[in-house]
Amino acid sequence: MTCSSIGKIDATGWEVDLHLDWIRGDTFNWSTSVNYTTNQAIVEDLGQDTDQIVYAGFSSRGNAAIVGLPLTSMIGTSVGRDASGAPLIDASGSYTSNNDTNYKTNKYALIGDSNPDFIANVANTITYGNVSFNFLFNATIGGDMYSSYMMTLLGRGQTIDTVDRELPYILPGVLSDGSPNNKMIDNATTYFGNLIVGPDELRTWDASVLRLSEVSLSYDLPKKWLDKTPFGAASVTAQGFNLWYDAYNTPEGTNYDPNIAGLGVGNGSGFEYFNGVSAKRYGVSVKLTF
């Protein structure tokens, strides 16, 4: 029996760990641990007579393996453009759409890449006597997200980002004759007519996010308190998770959290269809050692 490969990717990445002890003493200590990771997988060959395979999502919008591009590439319908790449505006003043989602024939079908440029985690531990304070800060920089949630809030005027409803808008681009667009449209047409019913490209944002992932405060009971108990050690910890985040390149009024798996279990990423986000969580735990 002869076996042949169906594709080939070239994956590279870096991971760096750093630990620093800022203060080391008998009663007070402060240390910081930093973890930095970056990785990229480039499609080199698809093993068959094609340059593009959509492996997650839908045939016209999803993650696609495209020769020469990252495996996490996102394809979808795009804004129509002229030969120089300028957005084309139709007779009503809105963007035109290009429904060709094959990258080989329409390079603008590549609407994003869900893979972040890098992920960094910074963990701090501060102890004073029997008390320990810990917090974990995360930065996920880069990576794109197609969002139905932001599209709907903006398109239906349910966010402060569309507060200037009385003002006319002129979309950047050119008309069919190549002249700069000068057609004024109202707020509803700008957002509803383009974001909701327009091309997928307009519903894709940079998903960079800063996050306070975890905070905890622990207290180790003094051993003399345990002399008449069967326990050798005991501690009480209060914890909070996902307490704060800022997706700073998304519309401010949407309070968007990119921590979403919109395509369910599998290899798909970078698409959100009104999926639930990770919630804040609080808890108290007791640890007993015999």
Determine contact, residues 254/277, Cβ cutoff 8 Å: no
Whole-angstrom distance, CA of residue 147 vs CA of residue 155: 12
Closest among 80, 106, 84 to 94, alpha carbons compared: 80
Residue spans of the domains in the chain: they are: 8-289
- The mean pLDDT values, 10 residues at a time, for the chain of 290 residues are 69 96 94 97 89 91 96 97 96 96 96 98 96 98 96 92 86 95 92 92 97 96 85 92 96 92 83 88 92
Q: 34 vs 40, 42, 243, CA distance in Å?
A: 21, 27, 20
User: What is the model's pLDDT at position 1?
Assistant: 45
Whole-angstrom distance, CA of residue 110 vs CA of residue 102: 8
Closest among 290, 149, 154 to 233, alpha carbons compared: 290
β-strands 209-220, 131-141: how paired? Answer: antiparallel
Whole-angstrom distance, CA of residue 221 vs CA of residue 20: 27
Q: Is 153 left (phi over 0), alpha (psi -120 to 50) or beta?
A: alpha
User: Measured at the alpha carbon of residue 65, what is the angle toward residues 49 and 83, in degrees to the nearest 5?
Assistant: 85
Whole-angstrom distance, CA of residue 74 vs CA of residue 81: 19
User: What is the model's pLDDT at position 277?
Assistant: 79
Q: pTM for the complete prediction?
A: 0.89
